[in-house]
Structure 1
């Protein structure tokens, strides 16, 4: 258990939750910081407690039921994070909606990988994107394959199909980055235009060196977050970058997992015949991608959201 995850367990008492919330509210200069910290400490504590319990139950059950448990576990942890920045959350009942919708499904020839999810203007998803990550949502709808393509741990499954979606360009704690020159063809950009494209998402660039194989650069400080268009592999700490222009998206990885888990939880609950057949007969490529994603999200999302809380202390991991 890393320090951030341990910190999330530490916050599950009234005393520690209230003290932490008071610190958070003074940082955002809330005039009622002390009052709000006392008012919100129980909700904050229970959001964390319920979220962790959902994930623990998910790990102990069959993959057949995991999407529901992981989705609601994620929602509770997100709400805990929101309470650190929004003392009056939820400000309206519209925020209690999911904030996304799945399209109506065709009973024949349904493909999870090709299924789409649409973002709504109101609800939890657009709300936490704005207030946790300060990011506009870079699409109105997206396929499941397009979302899975942005998760580094999923990339080997795409490689098995000779369809790699991401490439390693650095390490989490290193300021050195290396982009293969062949990316320029995929992005339809010159080397200078490519550098201008990526520098908006990087710390200040100290120098750039270009040869026939690589565009090398050193930035002022390492990238440490799973924030698109750069994505972090949880086990290796390698930094991944999209190989194709269509996957160049400024989106935090928590946002990606939310959309995938929402759709999987809807399938699990309402598409009984298709979901049952998926686990009994394993008819197509959907099964290994879904199974592997569930294994990844079970550990990565609690860790990423624990990091959100730990960073508010001003400490580093």
Structure 2
């Protein structure tokens, strides 16, 4: 797998400066050469620290992995932000996490049913707006289960419980997407309404037609992976789409991992007894989801960030 090679390539003064210069010229930033030189060092350290947090996390016990992965993702996000916001951070309010969670957990606490709440200011909302053009944010708070179901590699666990939440609709290198007509029932819409619902997330549509039991979208080029409501599986290279309307989440997967890792890092740091018990006793079904997610996010987050940075050059990670 070519994962993280491009990120490592960018951790030299020359390549970082040239990459930022390319980005700033496309943005028509004033004095792009000057800005790229000023930001190259910070860009390098954000990438380097982020990658090292992930590298360290993979080697250490699950007990501390959420903290390392969360701060690893935060550093990688800040590097990405510098490619589009050369003056970041413009304010100290942008340095906060941007999300919060319930401080005191109930006695019958379940991670899958727990919620995080999006705040007005902070890294999360800043990245959502300036990296992914999401404003205003589509929800105020959300449960962990609704986030986990949008990660295709988690789908196997839900399938084991006969609760499959995502289905493959195409592959990362194909310009065709096929949606079974059965989805009209789970979305409670007509064919026309369903098409209108998902069209905004598929730029460059050449044709829409029926084929056997599917609605087929023919695109000008393969859909860019990692942007909800379409999510890619880095193992089988398929594009997945939510089965149920309540799981339709137009949010980049990078930000989904951010919310999950934030909550897990808070549990790791402040709910010591619950966190220790769930890792040692493994009696709670939540443990299966947490463990599997930690395994996935360790590999996938750097890949998602790398894909975004390569996209700025007009390349696709899977075709280089």
Task: State whether TM-score is above 0.5.
Answer: yes
Instruction: Give a deviation string over 1:111-165, Cα, whole Å, max 9, x none.
Output: 0000000000100000001111112322110000010011100011111111111
Looking at structure 1, the residues matched to 240 and 315 of structure 2 have their Cα atoms a distance apart, in angstroms, of 25
The change in CA–CA distance for 1:222 and 1:315 in structure 2 (over 3 A counts) is closer
Residues 100-111 of structure 1 mapped to structure 2, 5 A cutoff: 100-111=99-110
Partner of 1:79: 78
| Partner of residue 10, structure 1 | 9
Residue-by-residue CA offset, 1:206-261 (whole Å, 9 max, x unaligned): 33333663222322221132111111111111011111111112110001000000
Change (3 A) 1:199 1:211: same
TM-score, normalised on structure 1?
0.96
Residue pairs, 1:262-281, within 5 angstroms: 262-281=262-281
Which position in structure 2 is the counterpart of 1:291? 291
C-alpha distance in 1 between matches for 2:49 and 2:296: 20
Instruction: Check conservation: 1:101, 1:119, Cα contact below 8 A.
Output: yes
Alignment correspondent of 2:314: 314
Q: Mapping of 1:218-229 within 5 angstroms?
A: 218-229=218-229
* 1:37-56 correspondence to structure 2 within 5 Å: 37-56=36-55
Offset from partner CA, 1:55-96 (integer Å, 9 cap, x none): 000010011110000001111110001111111100000001
The residue aligned with 2:256 is: 256
Secondary structure at 1:276's aligned position in 2?
helix
| Between 277-286 and 113-122, the greater mean CA deviation after superposition | 277-286
Residue of structure 2 in register with 1:62 after alignment: 61
Partner of 1:165: 165
C-alpha change, 1:315 and 1:103, in structure 2 (3 Å) is same
Which stretch of the first structure deviates more once superposed, 109-118 or 167-176? Answer: 167-176
Q: Secondary structure at the match of 1:240?
A: strand
Matched residues in 2 for 1:272 and 1:316: separation? 42
Tell me the secondary structure at the aligned position of residue 133 of structure 1.
coil
Match of 1:184 in 2: 184
Runs of 4+ deviating beyond 3 Å: none
Matches within 5 A, 1:127-138: 127-136=126-135, 137-138=137-138
Query: Could you say what secondary structure the match of 1:210 adopts?
Result: strand
Indicate whether 1:32 and 2:34 are aligned: no
Whether contact under 8 Å (2:307, 2:316) holds in the other structure is: no
The runs of 5 or more residues in structure 2 that have no matched partner are: none
**C-alpha contact (below 8 Å) 1:98/1:123 kept by paired residues:** yes
Q: Deviations over 1:159-206 (max 9, x none)?
A: 111111111111111122211111111111111211111111113333
Structure 2 partner of 1:196: 196
Secondary structure of 1:179's match?
A: strand
Corresponding pairs, count: 316
Unmatched runs of 5 consecutive residues or more in structure 1: none
- SS of the equivalent of 1:62 reads coil
Q: Is the 8 A contact 1:5 1:307 kept in 2?
A: no
Q: Any idea what SS the aligned residue of 2:22 has?
A: helix
| 2:113 is the counterpart of 1:98 | no
Aligned to 1:208: 208
Contact 1:173 1:224 in 2 (8 A): no
Partner residue of 1:146? 146
In 1, the alpha carbon distance for the partners of 2:196 and 2:19 equals 40
Structure 2 counterpart SS, 1:195: helix
RMSD over equivalenced CA pairs, Å: 1.4
How far, CA to CA, are the matches of 1:235 and 1:50 in structure 2? 26
